[in-house]
Amino acid sequence: QGYRVAILGATGAVGTELLELLAERKFPLSELRLLASSRSAGQTLAFQGDNLTIQAVGHDSFAGIDLVLASAGGSISQNWLPVAVQAGAVCVDNSSAFRMAPDVPLVVPEVNPADLDHHQGIIANPNCTTILMTVALWPLHQVQPIQRIIAATYQSASGAGARAMAEVKAQAQAILNNKTPPTESFPYPLAFNLFLHNTPINAQGYCQEEMKMVNETRKIFHAPGLRISATCVRVPVLRAHSEALNLEFEQPFPVTQARELIAQAPGVKLVENWENNYFPMPIDATGQDDVLVGRIRQDISHPNGLELWLCGDQIRKGAALNAVQIAEALIERGLVKTP
Ligand code: 2RA
């Protein structure tokens, strides 16, 4: 017996990864319904040897559905997930629409699975940069609460969607052929360039992407006083984000202890070869479930500081895998009506 699952936003980069992961992880399915905008209705997607036809999302799309995995943007989630909850479904939403709502758990299964127990029908998947950072930092935070995080991110094109990934390749080709690079998905050429994340900027000069790391991490760690500052940058990489993190504790945190904790942490893989100067790279993190962490070192500017570097697949653990792991945890905790 399996669950009746709907994917809302099945044609996007995350939607297609959700499909792959449900098959790869042998998720218990009795039905899989693919929902998208009317623009995509009628298209088919292969799944476990079948061709599933995409349906336009509508008021009766969620009848009989147990679980919705949504990755179709904030406005689609805002419109349709309350309808899905009303129809009796539990929804895991990858958009930012509900992440900071007090009655919506914001969950990274390796960090705060117990928050799932309070769900009211919708569970929010954190932003990709937040997922990657919290998985890596949780093992340290549990031993000695982190007082302050300074984050610099190096975010792949995939965070702006499948078309953006294609565009950065087209830009590179154009530039190499001395032609003007296309800029439909990005405001500026990304190939051979980088730019500050172009989400709207607040009165303090921080963009929305940076404030997501601040606000979401505090909610996931249940640490409202945790001081965080982030600088988010878009870089010409295809689908894995990287982050340079500076951590401040109340007391010195021995590097060897930090290394051991991270090496044993779920969802994380320690990658450090000091002799060969080999540490996590986006090309190694791409397609991996684990967040790769390395170059853990004492902060030479502060006795209670640590520095570390990470790379993680933005589409996989940064979005689709975390959402499927939330769905698996919901089932494990008996939080979805049994089929
Ligand atoms: C980005 N985190 O990378 C955002 C969207 N997933 O642009």
Whole-number Å distance, alpha carbon 211 to ligand 1 midpoint, is 12
Testing ligand 1's pocket by substitution, the residue of 94, 130, 155 carrying the most ligand atoms inside 8 A of its CB is 155
Q: Is the CB of 155 under 6 A from ligand 1?
A: yes
Identify the residue whose C-alpha is closest to ligand 1 atom 5.
159
Residue 249 has a pLDDT of 98
Torsion-angle region of 305 (φ positive above 0: left; ψ -120 to 50: alpha; else: beta): beta
Substitution site in 134, 209, 231, 241 for ligand 1 pocket (most atoms within 8 Å of beta carbon): 209
How far is the centre of ligand 1, averaged over its atoms, from the C-alpha of 243 (Å)? 13
| Band of residue 337 on the pLDDT scale cut at 50, 70, 90 | confident
53-99 tens-digit pLDDT = 999 999 999 999 999 999 999 999 999 999 999 999 999 999 999 99
232 among known catalytic residues: no
CA distances from 329 to 113, 114, 123, 168 (A): 7, 9, 11, 36
CA-closest candidate to residue 123, choices 88, 81, 79: 81
> What pLDDT was estimated at residue 338?
78
Question: Is 59 tagged catalytic?
Answer: no
CA distances from 152 to 4, 202, 229, 235, 317 (A): 40, 18, 9, 12, 19
**ipTM surpassing 0.90, yes or no?**
yes
The phi and psi torsions of 114 (rounded to 5 degrees) equal -65, -20
CA distance 44 to 29: 18
User: What average pLDDT does the chain have?
Assistant: 97
What kind and span of H or E run contains 166?
A: helix 162-176
Predicted pLDDT of residue 112 = 98
**Does 127 sit in the ligand 1 pocket, CB within 6 Å?**
yes
Proportion of the chain above pLDDT 90, given as a percent: 97
Catalytic residue among 91, 119, 128, 311: 128
Residue 310 pLDDT > 80, yes or no?
Answer: yes
Please tell me the residue having the least CA distance from ligand 1 atom 1.
159
How many helices (DSSP H) and strands (DSSP E) are in the chain? 8, 15
Helical packing angle, 13-24 and 321-332, nearest 10°: 50
d(CA 84, CA 87): 5
- Work out the average pLDDT over 150-175: 97
The set of residues, in sequence order, having a beta carbon less than 8 Å from that of 263 and lying 6+ positions away, is: 270
Adjacent-strand bridge partners of 55: 35
**Annotated binding-site residue? 291:** no
Amino acid at 319: A
338 is known to lie in a ligand binding site: no
How many angstroms does the Cα of residue 50 sit away from the middle of ligand 1?
Answer: 31
- 166 C-alpha to center of ligand 1: Å? 16
99 among annotated binding-site residues: yes
Token reading at 308: 């570390």
Closest residue by Cα to atom 4, ligand 1, is: 159
33 annotated to bind ligand: no
Q: What residues have CB less than 8 Å from 269, skipping those under 6 apart?
A: 288, 290, 291, 292, 293
Determine whether the shortest distance from the Cβ of 128 to ligand 1 is under 6 A: yes
Among 304, 285, 302, smallest CA distance to 293 is for 285
225 marked ligand binding residue: no
Residues in the chain: 339
CA distance 71 to 128: 12
Instruction: List, for residues 220-276, the tens digit of each pLDDT value.
Output: 999 999 999 999 999 999 999 999 999 999 999 999 999 999 999 999 999 999 999
Output the pLDDT for position 15: 95
Tell me, in angstroms, the distance from the centre of ligand 1 to residue 257's CA: 32
Q: How far is CA 240 from the centre of its chain?
A: 11
Q: Residue range 165-173: average pLDDT?
A: 97
Encode pLDDT of 312-330 as tens digits: 999 999 999 999 999 999 9
Q: Give the dihedral sign, CA 248/254/259/265.
A: negative
Residue 297, marked binder: no
Position 1 pLDDT exceeds 90: no
User: Which atom number of ligand 1 is nearest to the Cα of residue 199?
Assistant: 7
For residue 41, count CB atoms less than 10 angstroms from its CB and return exposed for 0-12, middle for 13-18, buried for 19 or more. middle
Express each pLDDT in 184-228 by its tens digit.
999 999 999 999 999 999 999 999 999 999 999 999 999 999 999
From the CB of 160, is ligand 1 less than 6 Å away?
Answer: yes
Closest by alpha carbon to 153, among 100, 212, 95? 212
Percent of the chain with pLDDT over 70: 100
- State the catalytic residue, choosing from 119, 141, 197, 241: 241
User: Is it the case that residue 339 has pLDDT exceeding 80?
Assistant: no
Class of residue 181 by CB neighbours under 10 A (exposed 0-12, middle 13-18, buried 19+): buried
pLDDT in tens, 102-119: 999 999 999 999 999 999
